[in-house]
Structure 1
Amino acid sequence: MCGRYYVDDETSREIKKIVEELDKKLGNTSAKAKTGEIFPTNDAAILVAKGSKIEPDILKWGFPNFKNKGVIINARSETVFEKPMFRTSLTSRRCIIPANGFFEWNANKDKIYFTPQNENIMYMAGIFNLFENESRFVILTTSANSSIEDVHDRMPLLLTENQIEEWVFDDMRTSTILKQTPYLLNRKSDFEQQTLNLF
């Protein structure tokens, strides 16, 4: 599962560039992508296809949950083709959610922050759709790898930078990417951060 992620446009050159491109494209409109800790229903910067190019846009995180209140924020990669709510989006509206890392909570309710080992940005696979004239996205999840499985049994479906265009444009690669195991991650807990700050 992925219920919270983090975007830092100050230290991440790639994300800063995405935010700057959005500001330039949107001009002085009221639309603004949230940075810092991103919660469900926040407006966030994502990457989508615009013709033959991949460009940043601002979408709301979460599909409306018509059965109950709230929103659906994740879709399971193993069953996404089978679900009517997600099937069309998967075939024609795939997107990328850039982040510095994401949060997960363990059985003791400790908040743990997961980040890439060798980069300062991660690319999460997503899909989007239009609901009452509002574009919204969800993050695809997959089985947890060894760097997170002791904390949670799910994690975002992570893409390498080389897979961005494949995920967005190449329909023949979709099924293969859905089955891949994400790369390993670093972790840091809130408790560890607080301990470090004491000394």
Structure 2
Amino acid sequence: MCGRFAITLPNDAMAQLFSARPANALPAVPNFNVCPTNQIHVVRSSETGRHLDALRWGFLPHWYKSETAGPLLINARSETLAEKPAFRDACRARRCLIVATGFFEWTKSEQGTRLPWYIHRKDQEPIAFAGVWQDWGADENRQGTCAIVTTAANENLSSIHHRMPLVLEPEDWPLWLGEAGKGAARLMQPGANDVLAFHRVDPAVNSNRASGPDLIEPFDG
């Protein structure tokens, strides 16, 4: 799964990387502790090209009467994405890329203490998570919402968690965004073992109120 991540790439650099037109109001960067329900950076594609937008992290199905009417859907399992009522329409027609620099997962010590790990690309490039999105609400309350697609962890990350976000390589972005026709289902599998690296980080990140670049630095304590 993915419950917290970091984004440090400037907005203009994100727009350039994804060849996307940036929205006028995008979340402030850097943010070293992005949490569920935050506004996050999302790349979507339409007939007018790619757009870099701000969406709520926490997918809201159309039948939710309020933001808290059901479970907080921050992740969507790739294995059931096309079948679950909440996600099946979005899986077919509303796929997106969610931009990150790295993400956090937790293990437990023998004493039960939560130990955070920071996971990032070995080549230090930004990460593009596969995502799905949904507009929710009406009139002035209308907002875009999204979830990160997850898959079984590859061998490299399985020692930390049994799930991981679906990480897409640049050559796969057009297919996931629907620009290259059908067949996106073939992308929904664990990525290569040699793409991501990880290290322990300060337990300060256990708090969703923590902030600052120290949260992603190696920690030996």
TM over 0.5: yes
Structure 2 contact 9–126 (Cα < 8 Å) conserved: no
Contact 1:2 1:74 in 2 (8 A): yes
Aligned match of 1:137: 146
Matched, 1:125 2:130: yes
Q: Residues 51 and 7 (structure 1 numbering): CA distance in 2 closer, same or farther, change over 3 Å?
A: same
Q: Specify the alignment match of 1:53 in structure 2.
A: 49
Question: How big is the alpha-carbon RMSD for the aligned residues of Structure 1 and Structure 2?
Answer: 2.6
Aligned to 1:159: 168
Once the two structures are superposed, the pairs formed by residues 94-105 of structure 1 within 5 Å of their partners are 94-105=95-106
Conserved in 2, the CA contact under 8 Å of 1:15 and 1:99? no
Report whether the alignment pairs 1:84 with 2:78.
Answer: no
Structure 2 counterpart of 1:164, one-letter code: W
Deviation, 1:64, is 3.5
Counterpart of 2:14 in structure 1 is 15
Paired residue total: 188
Q: 1:195 aligns to what?
A: 220
Whichever residue aligns with residue 42 of structure 1, its letter is N
**How many percent of aligned residue pairs carry the same amino acid?**
28
TM-score (norm 1): 0.84
Contact between 1:5 and 1:39, CA under 8 Å: does it hold in 2?
yes
Q: Which runs of 5+ in 2 are unaligned?
A: 203-216
Structure 1 residue runs without a partner (length 5+): none
Residue-by-residue CA offset, 1:159-189 (whole Å, 9 max, x unaligned): 00111111001452211111x2213311011
1:107 shift after superposition: 2.1
Moved more, 130-139 or 180-189: 180-189
Stretch deviating more after TM superposition (111-120 or 67-76): 67-76
Q: In structure 1, give the amino acid aligned to 2:136.
A: F
Distance 1:171 1:111 in 2: 39
Conserved in 1, the CA contact under 8 Å of 2:55 and 2:146? yes
| Preserved contact between residue 97 and residue 128 of structure 2 (Cα < 8 Å) | yes
Distance 2:21 2:133 in 1: 20
Q: Which amino acid aligns with 1:92?
A: A
CA contact (8 A) 1:5 1:102 kept: yes
- CA deviation after TM superposition for structure 1 residue 50, in Å: 2.6
2:184 partner letter? T
* Aligned counterparts of 1:129 and 1:13: Cα–Cα separation in 2: 25
CA contact under 8 A between 1:34 and 1:43: conserved in structure 2? no
Confirm or deny that 1:147 pairs with 2:156. Answer: yes
Residue 186 in structure 1 maps to residue 187 in structure 2: no
